[in-house]
Structure 1
Amino acid sequence: MMGLFSQAGSHIRAKARGYTEDDSAPVDTEPDDTSILDENEGSIITSLISQLRVGMDLSRVTFPTFVLEPRSMLERITDFMSHPDLIFGAEHCNDPEERFIRVLQYYLAGWHIKPKGVKKPYNPILGEFFRCRYDYEDGTQGFYIAEQVSHHPPISAFFYTSPANGVTIIGELKPKSKFLGNSVSTTMEGENRVTLLGAKDDGEYIITMPNMYARGILFGKMVLELGDTCIAKNEKHGMYCDLEFKTKGFFSGTYNAISGRIRRKSSEVGEISGRWSHIMDFKDAKTGQKRVLFDAVKDGQHICPKWVAPEEEQEPNESRRLWRDLTTAIALKDMEAATAAKSAVEDAQREERRQREEKGVKHVPRFFKLLDGRWMPDLPSDSQDAAKIQEWIWPASAPKT
């Protein structure tokens, strides 16, 4: 979604006003944050935008394939598991304030990862799932499973655990996009619920998501921003943090800025500042000392690799196999083949929905179940046994046809 309008805006402004490529990029964004469409692609986008109305819900709008990041949203969520060293061992910190800060580090380190250019991942179809395993250098493992549990409204449920390292993360993502005239907003409803298995008395650490904005799609400078406030909290210890993702002002400010104040009940613990795309710091309220929470420039390349089964061994509704033809076509820059591949998946989804409606049956998620308004993993009895977790995610009897 974001990639569509950011690229479209630059193209429309360039055509309508005679701007050059140098005119279209905001001063302090990264070089690969923007891109220019060619003549044919720009014409398609111009036609699409002409059909939109202010306030329109964009969940049902189908977008051209050349704005797509070649992976599903279910896989993109794994970006937040890319720097496990930031949270592993947090349960051994005696100070609950330090444990809270370690959880914040995990969360903040996931935002810097993005494809070249401004793109949007594939919208998962109902019943699609993505799974992977992490094999860490010390011999321990982590496991991840995400599933599209609802189509209208779209809801992606996800679960990550590393029993040996004492971390479990459960959550949902519920994006809602609207056309606002000169911008598009995506409200990122949902939350991350982190549990430190070695400090279960802490209960859950809950973190919500910021919203996303594509600004200047028709006039002015075009840019993609994270904005508004998300909340991190641990009610057991009275720990709270309001994290503000700052959008740039018209005349002042900078892109990708973030700030936040950590408090424990009524006492100030410290403040967070910096840029989520560069360096983020924590300043202790008692000592005044500052320390780096995460340096995306220095450490951003050290992303923990994940193991994903070869596509021929995956199930039909597994993300990489499901979107294989689309991903291949995008890599070859064959937009005609990409459009056909994307349409084939979406048409099959519509046909499956029609058949369910005719039979009067509802879709039942495979890996998750709804409990008290939350999507929870339908785990085996011993959810801290790595072998059982692996068998639950990759059952030996699973179909591969």
Structure 2
Amino acid sequence: MKKTLIKNAMVVNDGHIQQLDVLIEGQFIAAVGTIPSIDGLEVVDATGLYLMPGVIDGQVHFRDPGLTHKGDIATESRAAVAGGTTSYIDMPNTRPNVLSMPLLEEKYALAAQKSLANFGFFLGVNGDNLDEVLQTDTSSLLAVSDDGLYFTKKGNLLADNPETLEKLFAGCPAIIAIHSEKEQLVEENEERYRAQYGDNVPIECHPLIRSEQACFEATERAIALANRHSARLHILHLTTAAETALFRNDIPLTKKRITTEVSVHHLWFNDQDYARLGTRIKWNPAIKTEQDRQGLMQALLDDRIDFITTDHAPHTEEEKDQPYFQSMSGAPMVQHSLNIMLEFYRQGVISLEKIVEKMSHNPATFYRMSKRGFIREGYYADMVLFDLNQPWTVSKDNILYKCGWSPLEGTELHSQVVSTWVNGHLAYHQGVFDDTQLGLPLVVEQAAR
């Protein structure tokens, strides 16, 4: 069994930063503390570097199967690992949409052959398969979700179908993760701006079309319905300061029935960036105002927002560089999410301890991931070693996404991932990958919450 000793790292974990050693034996963390070097150990000198649990990204679209010209599990998981992400949860809007247990199992089998990072998947749910989902034993599932399914067919947004949503809340004990916008309001706004501009609607209108009202009213209604049934509702990729007032921070995460997340791009960009980046930052829900950006960050810091995701959604440059209505929504982010949060740390906005809580601890706790998300003895050795003083600039030369571009191109970042371990395996080190061992499926703990 291979043994690796990481010496003298500044370990960020469980709300503390301490200089410690970490011993890896096989897939697991064997010891944390002051550990002497002995024969047979591979020693990593981490003096001056920081070690944290691997990032767990609770929302990605890796496009596999069916849309692999944009990205696939192999390419996007490598980009994730290079950015310090050791586990991810992929959404159901691949082709075919993952609307049955056999299709879900096929996706797990595909990832087992291709994914450098650990992997998990949501089961898709909409009006067409609602009864099947209600008859399914969901105890081993991470969650059920409608995210991205609205691209397949109009009417697939659960937030826009209160009768379907209420039936799901009443009969499904699993976490129900939804995309929260009112489609009717979005369509009305589209028609208003189309009447004014024709097909050449300026991208600056995107947050006015996918408006604060469309988000707030959908989220408010979904929460009311979930509370009626004591359901476990999770609102994906929150975008407005107004919505943050709908969530609690007076109870611990393990006691919450209503939860939410924020994606890094909604913390990084605001609506003034459309003039510079155009459709490259067209996401659904939309990037909104600076006030919203600041409100989201404040809610993250005060625990109304529970964790951070990327909503990583690659498209080709040709698919993005289209007029407003033709340009596809979404962009790649998973390689750069930790770096973005470390920029906020350098600016004094957020602590390292809080970053780890929101990117590692809380996703693992919320989704009941067995032995993940913390640097603890007996846990999987999913860890990332990073240097806070290693500037670099995002460019075509260092982007690892299959689509080959990023909305961050030209951005100077001041921290860099040095090494990433996935299940004790050094999967990435200073620009070099080792894919001789692949990631594992994320296992849900079965204990009742």
TM range (shorter): under 0.3
Question: Which structure's relative contact order is higher, taking Cα pairs within 8 Å and 6+ residues apart?
Answer: 2
Bigger strand share: 1
- TM-score, normalised via structure 1 length: 0.27
- TM-score, normalised via structure 2 length: 0.25
